[in-house]
Amino acid sequence: MPVRGKFFFILETQLTTMTLTTAQKEEVMAALQAYAAAYAAKQPEKIRALASKTISGFGSGPDEVVRDIAGFNEQIRRDFSQAGTIALSFDTLSLEGIMPFAWVTAFCTFKVGAGGTALCMNGRMTALLRNTGSRWIFEQIHFSMPYSEQLPGQSFPGRT
């Protein structure tokens, strides 16, 4: 137990001095923009380069569960196979962190074209990124869409 207590004391001391700088936040934003640009260009290798080998997360579909880089690769392949064009944008609400980690909360918009049909999906994204010393990579990512049956002001559908 003494080692655990000492660790938490060291961690608590370092937390107050290791928050992200403006430059580090700009680097994280650049990683988000690189992700969006690689999606628009349908460049899976560039998206994979932004991800940890142990990435995990969720997409907006009920079966979109990512447990590792292989699952992430499959999700990217599936997205690209079902869309002719993809435009992804982020409207960041919060970007905070304690080195070497950054966490992001954002609204996101997917504009997809497929077979002459245009679709716009307005959703939400949370992500955890880790600084490797030379770049920021995604460790966790989660895309979701608000539940349409749940109206504003309701915590649960049909309840006010």
pTM of this structure: 0.84
How far apart (Å, rounded) are the C-alpha atoms in residues 135 and 129? Answer: 10
User: How do residues 32-91 score in pLDDT, each as one tens digit?
Assistant: 999 999 999 999 999 999 999 999 999 988 999 999 999 999 999 999 999 999 999 999
Dump pLDDT digits (tens) for 118-132.
Answer: 999 999 999 999 999
- Domain-wise residue ranges, the chain: 19-144
**Residue 13 — pLDDT band, cuts 50, 70, 90?**
very low
Q: What is the per-residue pLDDT across 23-41, written as a single tens digit (0 to 9) for each?
A: 999 999 999 999 999 999 9
- For residue 151, the surrounding DSSP H or E stretch is none
The topology (CATH level 3) of 19-144 is Nuclear Transport Factor 2; Chain: A, (3.10.450)
Taking a C-beta distance cutoff of 8 angstroms, is the pair 129, 33 a contact? no
